[in-house]
Amino acid sequence: MAAVTKIILVRHGESNVTVSQVVGGERSCTGLSELGVRQAERLRDRLAAERLPVDVLISSPLPRALQTAEIIAPALGRPIEIEPDLEEHRPGDADGCPFVDFDHRFGLFDWRAEPDRPLAPGGESLRQFHDRVIAVLGRVEREREGTTVLAVCHGGVIDAAFRTYLAIGLSGAFDLWTLNTSLTEFVITTRGARPQLRRYNDSAHLAGLPAKTAV
């Protein structure tokens, strides 16, 4: 019988860096906004009510993801395992830069047209980021074959996973808008088999909450 591996990707709750409109890397990320905490609590309550069977809970180490994982963990009954390669696109010297200053300091460019150009000095290029995500997903598939893995991560990671599993590549002519604390689920029936996308942007638990913090 073929082993069935489920990988459920959760984007973190709304972050303080998003509200402050700054590039949020490991130096500048301070976790979730008040709304982000409420979003994660809604997801926790949904997971508890649905009794979603999860074998492994992993998380990006960035505070906005780890705080989300800490909030939902009681509903899953699993310890949190930190996976550094689930981090968002690493911004290098742009970490903490206000969005409005980015062009002046580092220059805006089409990163899909220039996939080997780092976001900023010391940061990753789009190709490096995608290669990292592909590698960590492959490792999860190998090491967690036959289990259900819930990974708390970032919008960019989910975008890279989407492009990888659907074999679209770096320059597919679309953009994803992945909502905070939404669920995206892929199912792999055998190692190397074509993955199935079971759901994307499942955010039913956010009904009634504002879309974002007003600034």
Average pLDDT, the chain: 95
- Which domains are seen in the chain, by residue range? 5-206 (3.40.50.1240)
User: Which residue stretches of the chain are H helix?
Assistant: 16-20, 34-50, 63-76, 99-106, 126-143, 155-165
Band of residue 1 on the pLDDT scale cut at 50, 70, 90: low
Contact predicate 108/102, CB 8 Å? yes
The pLDDT tens digits of the residues spanning 123-173 come to: 999 999 999 999 999 999 999 999 999 999 999 999 999 999 998 888 777
